[in-house]
Chain A
C-alpha cells in the first residue's frame, strides 16, 4: 500500500514563474492537507481539501496560491508568479477519516532563484 506520494521532490523556479506541486494521497484517503515548512520553522497549515471541495483555506496566502483536489487525479498546489519568499518545503498529508493521524508525504522542496 503506497504512502502519500508527492512530486516533484525538488523544484527550482525563477522569480515570476509558476510552480505546480502534486500530491497523491494514500489509497482510500479522501482528505488532503497541505503544509509549508519555511527554513528553521515548524509546519504551517495551508489548506484542507476533500474531493472536489476546499474545506479550509485559512492558511493560504490570499494571492498567487491555489489548491485543488479533483474527482480524479492528484491534489495540486499551484503558486503563480513565485517570489524568493516562497522557497520552502511543501508537505501534503492525507487521512481516511477525520480524527485519525495524518500520513505525510516526503515533501516538495521549492527553490526560487
Chain B
C-alpha cells in the first residue's frame, strides 16, 4: 500500500531547462511534505518542504507546488544544472507513527550539459 508515489522513475533534461518532478499521495490528512535529494553512495539530504497551508514554496532554483485537491505535489528546478543530477524522493511524515518518513520510489534526474 504505497501512500506516496513517484510515477516517473527517470527524467532527462538539458542544462538550463526546467526539471519537473511529480509526486502523488493517497491520504488527504497529510499536511507536510518534503523533498530529498540523493547522490550515489551518499545519504539523502533534505532539499525543500511545504506545509499544506501553502500551495507554493520557493528556495532559490527549487520550487515545490502543492495541489491538495489532486493530492499532488511537484518539484521544479529552474534552471537545471549538471550538479542537480541525482535521485529525488518526495516524503511524508506519518504523525501517528512518530513522524517517520514514508518515501516515494524516487525519480532519477540526469541533467545533460
A contacts, CB < 8 Å to B: 4, 6, 31, 33, 35, 41-45, 48, 55-56, 58, 91, 93, 95, 98-99, 101-107, 109
Interface residues of B in 24-83 (CB under 8 A from A): 32, 34, 36, 41-46, 49
- Check A45 against B93 for contact (C-beta < 8 Å): no
Q: Is the interface of A mostly helix, strand, loop or mixed?
A: strand
Instruction: Name the one of A6, A56, A91, A109 contacting B98, with C-beta atoms under 8 angstroms.
Output: A56
- Check B98 against A104 for contact (C-beta < 8 Å): no
Q: A43-B101, A48-B98, A98-B98 are in contact. List 10 more A-B contacts (CB 8 A).
A: A33-B100, A43-B89, A45-B102, A55-B98, A56-B97, A91-B43, A98-B99, A101-B46, A104-B36, A104-B44
Chain A residues closer than 8 Å to B32, beta-carbon distance:
99
By CB atoms of chain B within 10 A, which of A6, A42, A103, A104 has the most? A42
B contacts, CB < 8 Å to A: 6, 32, 34, 36, 41-46, 49, 89, 93, 97-106
Q: Shortest Cβ distance from A27 into chain B, in angstroms?
A: 17
